[in-house]
Structures are given as C-alpha cells and as structure tokens.
Structure 1
C-alpha cells in the first residue's frame, strides 16, 4: 500500500453499483440528486450548484493532498450518478481511515445502494489496502445512522463531545464506531447473509442498513 492509491484511484465495481473517482464534472449530476434533507446532520449544507461545485472541489483537493479517496456513486443500469461517499483521514503508516461523507439521492436512501457501497469500500480497505481499522462518526442525534452503522457490525466506542461546529452553528456530539481487521470476516459474512435472505424473499437486493 503506497501513495499511488491517490494518483491512480481505483474504481470499485459491483453488479449494480460502481464507485468511481469523484471529479469536478460530477458536480451537476450530484446537484440534480441533491435534497435539503440530505444535509440535516451533515457538516455543511448545499443549496446551489455553485456550492456543490465548491464542495466537490474541496473533496478532490483532499485527494490531491493525499488525505482522502472521494467517490461518485454510479447506478449502472441508468448510467446515473446518485450520490457520493469517501475514505478520508487516511493514515497509511498506521493503516487506518474513516469512511463517511456519504449521501444519496432521496429515492435511493434505505435501499440496496448503501449496503453495496459499504461492502465495496470495506472490502477495498481490508482486502486490498490492508487496513487494520476503519472508523465511522455520526451526529449523536442521527439515530437512524447509528442503527445503520451498528447493523454493519461496527462497534460503538463512545461519544466525542462538542466534536464539530456545523455550518449552521450547531455544536454537535459525535458517536464513534469502528470495524477492525479482526472483525472483517464476520462483517463480510453478515453482508452475504443479508443478501441471501433478501434473494430468498425475492426482493433481489437487501435494503440499506
């Protein structure tokens, strides 16, 4: 694992979803997917195309600084960008990172999309990058997000008080979770079990956590 992961960011592929390196030209597609509710617990709020372009530029800049791997979420059947996610706070020496800054178009929330994206990213972290820790943080008020992270098999480690000041001025507490390399086989099996359950039920794809 070395710095080439930033110069040549790997595309992560699945039957229905592809995670592709986020680029400036994705801004308009992401703005089309935008909805005010997306930003309720996020660090910033996007209301205009210009703000979306600035948000994307900031994410791309983090990749150039070798601090993050931002992705656009492509729905393959429709060749449509429906959201974004990223790995950030990447520490190659300590083999750790955080998974977050994730959002999807409203119609794809609580669908198979989030499960597929998390599976692709976690597989990449533990099986390709050799990570020993992947961290998640979420606003303590965002109970659905906490439950979703817990269903992945992540372990809650505690709450960081006054962890971040949001763009609206609210000072949030952040719940911190992690999955470590010793957990990965069990977490991976959980993805497989959920997929099998919903295939048997005829749903076709497990809903997001």
Structure 2
C-alpha cells in the first residue's frame, strides 16, 4: 500500500481530474481562493506566501507517507479549481478520512464536489479495499454538513472542542462516515445525481 505515496494516482472522469499536489500548484490555488473559503478552516491562506506554505506542508505529508493531497482540475483545460485530500490512513483497520476540501467560488454547489467525492470514494473502497471513510466539519458550517449528508454519509456525532481554527475559535467537529456495506448504493446515488 505504501507505494500510493511514492507513486500517487491521478483520479479522473471526463470533466474532472484529481492530480497529486505539487509545489507548482500554489499559484493556481491562490488564483482561485477567496476569503470566505477560510472561515471554518484551521488556517487562512489569503496571500501567495501563505498558499505556498500550505502547499509545501501538504506535499510534505505525501512525502512522509501520511496523506494524499490532490488539486482539483478541469480536465479539458487543466485549470486548478480547488483541492482535497485523503489522510489519517489506518491500513490495519482499512480506513481513512477525506478532508481539507475547498473549491473556488464559481465551482461550489456544482457537479464538482459530487464528482470529486465519487472518484475518491471509488478509490478508497474499490482500489484500496477500505472498510470506512470518514469526514469532519465545523459544527457551525451548515453548508459543509449539507454537502456531506447529500453524499449519503451517516452522522456519527460531535467531537467537542476538537480543533482550534485560524481565528482562535475552538470548534466542535461533526463526524460522518461511509462504510463499505453502504458504498454500492451510495455510488449509484452519486452517479444518478451527476446524470441529472
């Protein structure tokens, strides 16, 4: 399994490609970010220097074998429109988490998130053979909770005083998961959403 970090996959369909993040992607991510993206994040990355630091840290997690950060690109143009990540891998228990996800404002509430999650979940359940994939979001971030629930994930509970975010606020995190038994039905539902 560890070769996924030394030779990370590109995951794609006909519209979207999730490309392994590299240092050169900082500029594209900076161009597409907007201040509202960072309201519930653990850091604010509103300068090119901050974005370069974020990308450097993300690439380092890949090099250390602890995460797979991706940039989200439009397949026809290669334009960077956001980022997402697989992390918190537990290969013994066959689980991981999807997170650190954000998209440029023009690509929010479009086909992009559904497509990205379909590609990531297919990889986790069908290629890696995982039993569980989890998600977390700020308890105040209703838009993110709605998006996760629209995927078909089950809400498991609240992690109290779980993270300190960029403003210094100590957030509660809402925990969701999808398990392998549920995946075939969820996959079909995601495909139906994209077809419509």
TM-score, with length taken from structure 1: 0.92
Q: Alignment length, in residue pairs?
A: 196
Match of 2:141 in 1: 142
2:11 corresponds to which residue? 12
Give the Cα separation in 2 of the matches to 1:76 and 1:195: 16
* Cα deviation 1:170-190 (Å, max 9, x = unaligned): 000000000011110111011
User: What is the aligned partner in structure 2 of residue 92 from structure 1?
Assistant: 91
The one-character-per-residue Cα deviations of 1:20-55 (angstroms, maximum 9, x if unpaired) are: 100000000110011001111111111210100000
SS in 2 for 1:159: strand
The corresponding residue for 1:56 is 55
Partner of 2:117: 118
1:130 corresponds in structure 2 to 129
Q: Is the 8 A contact 2:139 2:172 kept in 1?
A: yes
Check whether the contact 2:114–2:194 (CA below 8 A) recurs between aligned residues: no
**Structure-2 separation of matches of 1:32 and 1:109:** 15
Residue number in structure 1 paired with 2:188: 189
CA-CA distance at 1:157 after TM superposition = 0.3
- CA shift, 1:93, in A, is 1.4
CA drift at 1:129: 0.5
Q: Could you state the TM-score of these two structures normalised by the residue count of structure 2?
A: 0.98
Let me know the Cα RMSD of the aligned residues.
0.8
Aligned residue number for residue 157 of structure 1:
156
Distance 1:140 1:152 in 2: 18
Q: Structure 1, residues 57-76: CA drift from partner, whole Å, max 9, x if none?
A: 11111111111000011112
Compare 9-18 and 185-194 and name the one that shifted more. Answer: 185-194
Structure 2 gap segments, 5+ residues each: none
After TM superposition, what 4+ stretches of structure 1 lie above 4 angstroms from structure 2? none
Which residue is 1:22 aligned to?
Answer: 21
| Aligned match of 1:206 | none
Provide the rounded CA distance (Å) in 2 between the counterparts of 1:3 and 1:78: 31
Partner in structure 2 of residue 207 of structure 1: none
